[in-house]
Amino acid sequence: MPELDAVDRRLIDELQGEFPLCAEPYAEVAGKLGLGEEELLQRLDRLLSRHVLTRFGPMYQIERIGGAFTLAALAVPEGRYEEVAAQVNALPQVAHNYRREHTLNMWFVLATETPDGIGEAIARIERTTGLKVRNFPKEREYFVEMKLGVRA
């Protein structure tokens, strides 16, 4: 696990809140944390390049602009796991992908700009991998909160 100092931790927690929409937002957040703007930008850059943060910016809900998300899964034979992971990840519609311990051992989220895009992406994955995709579209969202405090 990468080393995080106390400032990094506060920064990660703070940046999971609402980032300001103003001319100099980094300066505003830096002020709250008692840092200089330049130091904040350097730390943020380092956290992104070390993959402590996977991204920083607006998180879009593609359903609200006519697109679609779904969660889908594959049962991948162990001997083909790396090959299939590369085939699935190659699609830009795959927003994230996790290995999980189950017969269904690959779980990925598809995000497409149109509802039809989901079916097309699934058909393409089935064609490329020769495996059956199980599709688990969201029927109802009860709660989503993507913030996690730093425990490291």
Partner 1 sequence: MIDAIDRALIVATQDGLPLVSRPYHAIAGRLGIAPEEAMRRLAAMLDTGIIRRIGAVPNHYAIGWTANGMTVWDVPDEAIDEAGAAVGALAFVTHCYRRPRALPEWPYNLFAMVHGSTRDEVRDKAMVIADLLGERCRSRDILFSSRILKKSGLRI
Smallest gap from Cβ 123 to partner 1, in A, equals: 17
Instruction: Quote the tokens at residue 41.
Output: 């930008």
**How far is it, in rounded angstroms, from Cα 95 to Cα 118?**
12
Residues from 107 through 126 that contact partner 1 (CB under 8 A): 107-108, 111, 113
- 8 A C-beta contact, residue 57 and residue 38: no
DSSP state, 64?
G
Q: Which is nearer to partner 1, 79 or 149 (CB)?
A: 149
Residues from 60 through 89 that contact partner 1 (CB under 8 A): 60-62, 64-67, 69, 71, 85, 88-89
Q: Which is nearer to partner 1, 95 or 123 (CB)?
A: 95
- 8 A C-beta contact, residue 36 and residue 76: no
| 104 scored as a contact of partner 1 (CB under 8 A) | yes
DSSP state, 72?
E
Report how far apart the first and last C-alpha atoms of the chain are (Å, whole number): 8
| 52 scored as a contact of partner 1 (CB under 8 A) | yes
| 5 scored as a contact of partner 1 (CB under 8 A) | no
Q: Which is nearer to partner 1, 130 or 134 (CB)?
A: 134
* Candidate list 35, 74, 87, 93; residue touching partner 1; CB under 8 A: 93
List, edge to edge, every strand of the sheet that includes 68-74: 106-112, 68-74, 134-136
Instruction: Quote the tokens at residue 77.
Output: 């034979």
Smallest gap from Cβ 14 to partner 1, in A, equals: 9
